[in-house]
Amino acid sequence: MVNCHVVLLPFTAYGHLIPMADMAVLFASRGLQTTIITSPLNAHRFSKSVQKTANFPHQIALHIAEPKAPEAGQPPLDDTSISQESIFGFREFVSMLQEPVEQFIQESRPNCLIADMFYPWTTKTAAKFDIPRIVFHGTGFFPLCASESIRLYEPHKAVSSDLEPFIIPHLPHEIKLTRKQLPNLEAEIFKEFVEVMMESVEVDATSYGVIVNSFSELEPEYVWHYREVMKRKTWHIGPVWLCNKILDDKSERGKKASIHEDECLRWLELKSPNSVVYLSFGSLVEATASQVFEIAMGLEACGESFIWVIKNEQERSLPEGFEVRMKALGKGLIITGWAPQTLILDHESVGGFVTHCGWNSVLEGLAGGVSMVTWPVMAEQFHNAKLVTDVLEIGVSIGDLEWSATASCDGVKREAVEKAVAKVMGAEEGEKMRKWARVLKEKAKTVVEEGGSSYLDLNAFIEDIKTFKSKQ
Ligand code: UDP
């Protein structure tokens, strides 16, 4: 077999880092020599992935690159929360590894460099060493097509108010958004972030190709649209998290969960199928104190059993005695910190998911066969939410929401929470959505098995990069 060396450069945010770590396992499982470049402070986040490949022909190698020293006031490169400081000096933040990455590529001459979208400089780096740069956006085809269509045709400029809906032009479905659901990054603090994003968009078209954590049966029209209309060379190889087969791998992704998986499973096993709703806002979004209170009141009013992930300190915002009451009734499990999300979503007791619609959460939810309440907050989450509600029809929206530049989830009343949760958990509408979600769940499982569409596209990817040099 011709040796093939793939180098991955993940971004620090969990929503990008976790799927890239899974992708590395997937490559190693196909016998590819796989290296993840990371910084000393981030290296431990990949150790679990490295362990998973211990018995493969090539274990994943970590190349620990020493980043450029942060400038005064700049956080070090392990800032997974993408704090105010890293956003403020974003260009510097995403360039810290440029020199050591170039040195590594020069010395090791891999077959390709798969780099996150937040490292636009890698397209030039790859060109310098005559290897393909593959972009990883961390999202799916539908949101990629929607964002590009809005960027190209600016339909939001043709409406007279922030509340008037516009149709995203030239998409296979009629998708409506309002201006207030689009990113608003005009504040000075986002200046460099926006510049890097614009650069990323520009180099996208000149990069060799795009690798996507999705599968064709999920969004076939958008795979076609991205390839044929937007003219991107692309491979769909997901859901990449399905490379995690054993319990331990499912329970520890990105970081150790704040609850032991046995405790979580014991709680779930006492529940009947599809009777539990799971609520999580991912790694970055935070509910305000008043929103935490309203969610609690809504959950108590609707009476469904739930697992709810809250961030540290948010316990203080819960109604008096709420956690104790829910625990005593066996109604609710609150996880403060980090949940074993895929383990939970995969459990048959879980039937519904209240989600901020990060791409990974959407994929994990549908691979768990659950119906969803969509509660998008920022990034491309409003697009992902539309895929769930308007295209796949496996979820309902929590209400009329606004894009948040501060990653905060706020303004939804308890009645809306109660109504939406009751709907997705219900025997009629909820079950109808779950029925289709279960079909997607089965498809998700088969596409990554030998002969499945993602399996075959990964073959095509490997073949393409192996033969790249001879095409020059
Ligand atoms: N995640 C987790 N436990 C948590 C919160 C998040 O395992 O308590 C994982 C989740 O399974 C997903 C990733 O972190 O794989 C979050 O990515 P997503 O795209 O859903 O959202 P983001 O955090 O980027 O907003």
Question: What would the pLDDT profile of 279-335 be if each residue is shown by its tens digit?
Answer: 999 999 999 999 999 999 999 999 999 999 999 989 999 999 999 999 999 999 999
Instruction: Give the ligand 1 atom nearest the CA of 355.
Output: 20
Burial of 121 (0-12, 13-18, 19+ CB in 10 A): buried
Residue 40 CA to residue 448 CA, distance in Å, equals 32
Cα–ligand 1 centroid distance for 231 (angstroms): 30
> What pLDDT score does 77 carry?
63
> What pLDDT score does 381 carry?
98
Per-residue pLDDT tens over the stretch 87-133: 878 888 888 899 999 999 999 999 999 999 999 999 999 999 999 99
Helix (H) or strand (E) holding 280: strand 276-280
Please report which confidence band the pLDDT of residue 454 belongs to, taking 50, 70 and 90 as the band edges: very high
Q: What percent of the chain has pLDDT over 90?
A: 84
Query: Which two three-digit tokens encode residue 412?
Result: 């939804």
Cα-atom radius of gyration of the chain, to the nearest Å? 22
Is 130 an active-site residue? no
List ligand 1's pocket residues with C-beta within 6 A: 13-15, 18, 253-254, 280, 282-285, 309, 338-339, 341-342, 358-361, 364
CA nearest ligand 1 atom 3, residue: 339
Is the model more confident about 87 or about 427? 427
> What pLDDT score does 88 carry?
78
Instruction: Give the ligand 1 atom nearest the CA of 357.
Output: 20
> Looking at the predicted structure, is the pLDDT value of residue 184 above 90?
no
> What pLDDT score does 440 carry?
96
Catalytic entry in 5, 22, 79, 116: 116
* Contact in structure between 239 and 251 (CB atoms under 8 Å): no
- Helix count (H) and strand count (E) of the chain? 20, 17
* Contact in structure between 105 and 113 (CB atoms under 8 Å): yes
> Looking at the predicted structure, is the pLDDT value of residue 49 above 80?
yes
Distances (CA, A) of 444 to 60, 242, 253: 25, 8, 19
Lowest-confidence range among 189-193, 359-363, 409-413?
Answer: 189-193
CA nearest ligand 1 atom 6, residue: 282
Report the chain's mean pLDDT, rounded to a whole number.
93
> Looking at the predicted structure, is the pLDDT value of residue 395 above 80?
yes
Instruction: Give the ligand 1 atom nearest the CA of 16.
Output: 24
> What pLDDT score does 71 carry?
67
Helix (H) or strand (E) holding 64: strand 61-64
Is 464 an active-site residue? no
Distances (CA, A) of 264 to 41, 350, 377, 447: 30, 12, 27, 29
Please report which confidence band the pLDDT of residue 2 belongs to, taking 50, 70 and 90 as the band edges: low
Among 16, 18, 286, name the best residue to mutate to test ligand 1's pocket (greatest count of ligand atoms within 8 A of Cβ). 18
**Mutual angle of helices 414-425 and 289-302, in 10-degree steps:** 50
Cα–ligand 1 centroid distance for 355 (angstroms): 10
> What pLDDT score does 61 carry?
97
> Looking at the predicted structure, is the pLDDT value of residue 213 above 80?
yes
- Average pLDDT, stretch 153-172? 97
Among 361, 362, 374, name the best residue to mutate to test ligand 1's pocket (greatest count of ligand atoms within 8 A of Cβ). 361
Cα–ligand 1 centroid distance for 360 (angstroms): 6
Residue 15 CA to residue 373 CA, distance in Å, equals 19
Please report which confidence band the pLDDT of residue 75 belongs to, taking 50, 70 and 90 as the band edges: low
* Contact in structure between 118 and 79 (CB atoms under 8 Å): no
Residue 314 CA to residue 308 CA, distance in Å, equals 12
Contacts from 190-195 at CB under 8 Å and sequence distance 24+?
Answer: 190/87, 190/405, 192/87, 192/88, 192/89, 192/90, 192/91, 192/92, 193/87, 193/90, 195/90, 195/91
> Looking at the predicted structure, is the pLDDT value of residue 472 above 60?
no
Cα–ligand 1 centroid distance for 471 (angstroms): 39
CA nearest ligand 1 atom 24, residue: 15
* Contact in structure between 215 and 444 (CB atoms under 8 Å): yes
Catalytic entry in 16, 58, 356, 383: 16
Please report which confidence band the pLDDT of residue 232 belongs to, taking 50, 70 and 90 as the band edges: very high
> Looking at the predicted structure, is the pLDDT value of residue 352 above 60?
yes
> Looking at the predicted structure, is the pLDDT value of residue 355 above 60?
yes
Cα–ligand 1 centroid distance for 380 (angstroms): 14
> What pLDDT score does 55 carry?
92
Lowest-confidence range among 21-35, 139-153, 238-252?
Answer: 238-252
> Looking at the predicted structure, is the pLDDT value of residue 58 above 90?
yes
Query: Which two three-digit tokens encode residue 145?
Result: 């097509």
Cα–ligand 1 centroid distance for 283 (angstroms): 5
> What pLDDT score does 81 carry?
65
Per-residue pLDDT tens over the stretch 129-160: 999 999 999 999 999 999 999 999 999 999 99
